[in-house]
Chains A and B, each alone.
Chain A
Amino acid sequence: MVRPVSVLHVLSVLIMLFAVSMLLPFGVSFLYGDAARSAHYQSMLITLASGAVLWGGTRPGRGELQPRDALLLVALVWTVLPAFATLPLLLHLHEMSFTDAYFETVAALTTTGSTVLSGLDRLPASINFWRCEMQWLGGMGIIVLAVAILPLLGIGGSQIMRAETPGPMKDTRLTPRITEAAKGLWLVYAGMTLACMLAYKAVGMSWFDAVVHAFTTLSLGGFSSHDANFAYFNSPAIEATAMLFMIAAGINFGTHFLAFRKLSLAPYRSDPETRVYLAVLAVSAFGIAYFLLANGVYPSFWTALRHGAFNVVSIATTAGFASADFNQWPIFAPVWMLFLCCFATCSGSTGGGIKMIRAELMVRQALREIMSIIHPRAYLPLKVAGQRIENQIIFAVLAFMLIWGGSVIVMTMLLTASGLDIISAFSAVIVCLCNTGPGLNQVGPATTYASLNDFQTWVCTAAMLVGRLELFTLFIVVTPAFWRR
């Protein structure tokens, strides 16, 4: 049985916490003396007040969270917080509709990085900062952060974290206590962000650009403070730095955590995903570079490699930065990149999509079926890193793939029915479900999602949320069985 009141009570705490996170852009607006100061001030107060009222109202009915409540909480957090996050945008940009603002904040928190805004370079620094900060918060997970710093979530924490972190197998604990694990993950995440920030500064970004781009690189978000995105810098050094950190962010942060704690590279070697992930990226980057060269898109190999590798890594890791308008490339290249973004990143990373481990499991399951026809009496376990994978997990992954494919078809149909061309519709659904960012044609890297009508925007918004929470968490909450007493 679900107990909405106790869920709302925890939600109210998270809303207030979210209000506190608005202090940062408020401070930035002071620092730069920009025009959005009052917008931040008001949004913070509104958010804090709403949280406080909800907290007071639900206090009598509060209680411990059950596993089922955890799912509801996660679903609510990821739908309600973006609504509050729209406040600075709505209060500052008066002409913006709620639909567009909500799309923008969902794209931020889910680390998708598709935007409806243009003229980013002219926006107040604090607004850009807010967009990028949200990506950073959403990257590792708002609730993981809450578990790390708030003791109140301690008890049901593990279920909540499981509902929020991506990947099919979440039972391995990094530390005996869930709070410690959440803290560890966030520390590694924050540490790597800091390193990325300093690296960006060292290769020539301004401090402000370094900070916001570090936020959106480590979270594999893809927002930028410039319309031209990474093409604005036009610097191979910056692109190389970005690639390095994007690749790092696409690896399981649990693995990073173990590697940092043991100060060795062994955890990467024994991780079943990392090797395949790196190999897929390397082969694709060089392959696409060669393809671009062969098709005469770029005159020299080095330019082809520079743009080919950066865009392949950026799309495959679901960051969605762009240093070139890959929509203009021969169609195979961008389609291959979209295909990669569906599964390249590792589970437990900040990337989106199906995740490498599920793809590996599917391939092995297919081979296993073939083997079992040849040897009907054989025991053929599916093993990853020497560990047997239970059939239950394989079924769950199969169901996930089925729902994932179903979602792609249904949403593509909805978008085409509403008048979008099939390439734009299909690519938009894929990049939104994978939390990548730029698609093709009408939603390509050179354009924004502003051209979509309201209905299409809502479909994309839903796709982003569904993709970030890996389908089940959202779909479960809308089934009648979930609410049955």
Chain B
Amino acid sequence: MKIVILGAGQVGSSVAESLASEANDITLVDIDGARLRNLQDHLDVRTVVGSAAHPSVLADAGIEDCDMMIAVTQSDETNLVACKLAQQLFNVPTRIVRLRATDYLANENVLGPDCFDVDLAICPEQVLTDYIVKLIEFPEALQVLEFANGKVSLVAVRAFQGGPLVGHPLRDLRKHIPSVDARIAAIFRGDTPVQPDGDTLVQAGDEVFCLAATKEIREVMHELRRMDKPVRRVMIAGGGNIGLRLARALEREYSVKIIEYNKRRCEILSTRLDRGLVLQGDVTDEALLEAENVSDMDLFVAVTNDDENNIMSCLLAKRMGARRVVSLINRRSYVDLLHAGEIDIAISPAQATIGTLLAHVRRGHVTQVHSLRRGVAEALEAVVHGDRNSSRCVGRRIEEIDLPNGTSIAALVRGDDVVMAHHDTVVQAEDHAIVFVTDKKQLPKVEKLFEVSVGFV
């Protein structure tokens, strides 16, 4: 697929990186030549220097014959102009635009065909905010992902000594909670995936991915660890875009404190927030954390744009007694260093946010893609089309489908029902299949599986 990406910032470059590794032709456009040269050194992409809103620059980037344009520059306006140009002048079939201001989303006509004509508007800050809010709703989970409009949830939980299922084979799950149809989709022990079957023993320290209907997810988690007290007090370090969105999302139901260093920004924050308490100071200032009772916090979230600050403030907060600390970390090497150590959850913004983009890039009818374990694994939701002849899935039992190694179909969503996939479950047309891929190299094969063969129209 030929893809033009406008803007080589954090989102742009991580999208480029993850798409380039999947054999797509990527062209990156940015005004900062130095940054582009830097990226070109370690990624197999073409780069064009110039403003993404200028038609000549877009033409240089070869937008005329590209299949998809992804506009992720810093400026909403540049992105929108580029999108309109791509549609009007260059007939780009798929246009994805990053939008921060909620004003553009308030009126659907703004993005409709008569106006800017955006196929998909993404807001990475919002995705991250949702991600963290989910973690607060499920304080035991490492990651919570939703499929099929929220009907099915996938949670990653670390198994702890004392959970009823820990030390038992997986098939006991049925005996423990007979009313709930859940499935353990994958288990990671250290960094190695364990293919789960009925005899697999769950060990303390395992990272277990379980899939269940959203309303039953709590019971399943209960099997793997004791439940935590619900979160009441949250401290947010860093009042940038994410910090503000997070505080606004949380301030109604939780007691929220937010720390920000920049005084001007503090004023903006305190104006935008109704109840959250805005504190001016350094996020690593021990005295400030102490004075504001960090030891009583149920959750400490570090979301500044500086990895080192996030890490240090989280370590400090944890040492001072915060119950759980969550840090935003961009650099992958840091994530691997820290995850599951002192810091309870490390979130990589790039991995968390590109899922929606990936769904559009994938072949076949993929509606949802979530990166798992910092991009090593992937969970995707694909719609099965066709009939027994044109599709390689429809009308077959799960055990008959030729799944690549390290891949499993975890569940099917049929209309409003959630069907946990067992070896004899038969796939029907228009089912949403939730597929778990522990090895990303197998992705093209998985995509092929869900494509309808050419004969079918």
Contact = CB atoms under 8 A, between A and B. Distances in A.
Interface of A: 375-381, 383, 386-388
A378 B291 contact: no
B279 interface: yes
B255 interface: no
Nearest to A388: B271
Contact of B277 (A378, A383, A387, A388): A378
B288 A377 contact: yes
B265 to A, nearest CB: 10
Given A388-B267, A388-B270, A379 B278 contact: yes
A381 B269 CA distance: 10
A383 B269 CA distance: 12
Contacts of A379: 266-267, 269-270, 278-280
A375 B277 contact: yes
B271 A383 contact: yes
Given A375-B292, A376-B291, A381 B270 contact: yes
Given A377-B291, A381-B271, 9 more contacts: A375-B291, A379-B269, A379-B270, A379-B278, A379-B279, A379-B280, A380-B278, A387-B271, A388-B270
Most A Cβ at <10 Å: residue of B266, B267, B269, B277: B277
B281 interface: yes
Most A Cβ at <10 Å: residue of B267, B274, B278, B288: B278
Nearest to B269: A379
A379 B271 CA distance: 10
Contacts of B266: 379
Contacts of B280: 377-379
A375 B278 CA distance: 10
Report, nearest first, the 5 A-B pairs whose CB atoms are least far apart.
A379-B278, A379-B270, A379-B266, A381-B270, A388-B271
A405 to B, nearest CB: 30
Contacts of A375: 277, 279, 291-292
A383 B267 CA distance: 12
Interface in B264-320: 266-267, 269-271, 274, 277-281, 288, 291-292
Interface of B: 266-267, 269-271, 274, 277-281, 288, 291-292
B410 to A, nearest CB: 45
Most B Cβ at <10 Å: residue of A379, A387, A388: A379
Contacts of B271: 381, 383, 387-388
A113 B393 CA distance: 88
Contact of A377 (B269, B270, B274, B279): B279
Nearest to B287: A377
B160 to A, nearest CB: 36
B288 to A, nearest CB: 6
A381 B270 CA distance: 6
Nearest to A383: B271
Contacts of B270: 379-381, 388
B244 to A, nearest CB: 13
A374 to B, nearest CB: 10
Contacts of B281: 377
A415 to B, nearest CB: 45
A378 B267 contact: no
B285 to A, nearest CB: 9
A377 B266 CA distance: 11
Contacts of A376: 291
Most B Cβ at <10 Å: residue of A375, A381, A387: A381
A376 B291 CA distance: 9
A383 B270 CA distance: 9
A380 B274 CA distance: 10
Nearest to B281: A377
A381 B267 CA distance: 8
B280 to A, nearest CB: 5
A210 B374 CA distance: 79
Contacts of B292: 375, 377
A383 to B, nearest CB: 7
A379 B276 CA distance: 10
B239 to A, nearest CB: 10
Contacts of A378: 277-280
A178 B266 CA distance: 35
Contacts of B291: 375-377
A371 to B, nearest CB: 8
Contacts of B267: 379, 381, 388
Contacts of B279: 375, 377-379
A319 B281 CA distance: 51
A387 B271 CA distance: 7
A304 to B, nearest CB: 40
7 contacts: A375-B292, A377-B291, A378-B278, A378-B280, A379-B266, A379-B280, A380-B278
A276 B280 CA distance: 32
B246 to A, nearest CB: 17
Most B Cβ at <10 Å: residue of A375, A378, A387: A378
Contacts of A381: 267, 270-271
A386 B271 CA distance: 7
B294 to A, nearest CB: 13
A408 to B, nearest CB: 35
A267 to B, nearest CB: 20
A480 to B, nearest CB: 38
A223 B269 CA distance: 50
A375 B257 CA distance: 11
A438 B279 CA distance: 50
A379 B264 CA distance: 11
B336 to A, nearest CB: 35
Nearest to B263: A379
A386 B272 CA distance: 8
A205 B270 CA distance: 54
